[in-house]
A and B are shown apart, each in its own frame.
Chain A
Amino acid sequence: MVRIGVVVFPGSNCEYDAASGAAQLGAQAEFVWHSATDLSGFDGIILPGGFAHGDYLRPGALARFSPVMEAVARFAHDGGPVLGICNGFQVLCESGLLPGALQKNRGLTFLCQATTLVVTSTDSVLTSAATLGQELVIPINHFSGAYTCDDATLRALRENDRVVLRYKENPNGSRDDIAGVANGAGNVVGLMPHPERAMSTLLGSADGRVLLESFVTSNVTSNVAVA
């Protein structure tokens, strides 16, 4: 059975949703406290949403120095699938595992709403099961979600097809409508929207399933690749 580790920082608050989302897709999800230094045995790691270390200083700035992040970096370096959702995306950017940074929203408004995303690359562990151009309704819930990066980084992201999700209508001032990006190998992905909160039509949308399904099933292929 696919084992997914869900990292819990002091201040994380979406770990149960993320674990439930992975479990609904047949994975065995386990919480990993942020002091952990060993991630062996996991097929994928999720950094969930919330306010790691209170988001003091900047979102992700302190979480980056949690002991688990060295293990996450090694896991990612070895080709393991890593997914950062919302605060987890901010942590991955602060850690340098993904390019760019997340800034306060344009208009300084906390945004909690459904957004329509467009899949702009299927070459990542989060979007491999989706189709190019597919539209997904997935909620956002953030204050610092405006993706920003310098011109050279943006050019590289575009040229290498590293922007995996874009907002159809930009809600927060993100550069180039970017909602999610992947690293060069496609095994580390971060996004501000919450796919784990879009798992059931009864609760508004089931469009997050295709993303988490990609992630959960990516383990199989990436493990083969690493081996």
Chain B
Amino acid sequence: MNHFVIVDVTLRDGIADPEGSTIERALPALGFAGVTNVHAGKSFRLDVDAPNEAAALEKATALAERLLSNPVIENATARIATRG
């Protein structure tokens, strides 16, 4: 059966995040004060066919580590979610 999985990909600590810092610098001009530590990343939504949630998660994690993220600069986390 299909399991809905969300994979988040974010830059590893210590890796420069020009997108995040550009967004952060733009915030005061838009009236959003007091927002710091902005980081940009990617989010993927997948339907994974597997017998159970654990197996789906394992499959999605492998996929996330092999393709969706570059382990040299990024971390990937997969989680089971409900569509809504």
* A residues lining the B interface (CB < 8 Å): 57-58, 61, 65, 93-94, 99-101, 103-108, 146, 148-150, 173
Contact = CB atoms under 8 A, between A and B. Distances in A.
A213 B54 CA distance: 54
A218 B79 CA distance: 49
Contact of A105 (B18, B68, B70, B72): B18
Main secondary structure of the interface of A (DSSP, over half): loop
Contact of B72 (A57, A100, A107): A100
B72 to A, nearest CB: 4
B73 interface: yes
B72 A173 contact: no
Contacts of B15: 103, 148
A108 B18 CA distance: 7
B72 A93 contact: yes
Contacts of A173: 16, 18
Interface string B66-77: 011010110000
Question: Which 6 A-B residue pairings sit nearest by Cβ, starting from the closest?
Answer: A101-B72, A101-B73, A108-B18, A104-B18, A101-B70, A106-B18
Interface in B11-54: 14-16, 18-19, 22
A93 B71 CA distance: 11
Given A57-B67, A99-B72, A108-B22, 12 more contacts: A57-B68, A61-B70, A65-B67, A93-B72, A101-B70, A101-B73, A106-B16, A107-B18, A108-B19, A148-B15, A148-B72, A149-B72
A41 B64 CA distance: 36
Contacts of B67: 57, 61, 65
18 contacts: A57-B67, A58-B70, A61-B67, A65-B67, A94-B70, A99-B72, A100-B72, A101-B70, A101-B73, A104-B18, A106-B16, A106-B18, A108-B19, A108-B22, A146-B16, A148-B16, A150-B14, A150-B72
Contacts of A149: 72
Given A57-B67, A58-B70, A94-B70, A103 B16 contact: yes
Nearest to A60: B70
A61 B70 CA distance: 8
B73 A103 contact: yes
B74 to A, nearest CB: 9
Nearest to A96: B72
A98 B73 CA distance: 14
Contacts of B18: 103-108, 146, 173
Given A103-B15, A108-B19, A148 B73 contact: yes
Contacts of A103: 15-16, 18, 73
A104 B73 contact: no
A72 B72 CA distance: 21
Nearest to A100: B72
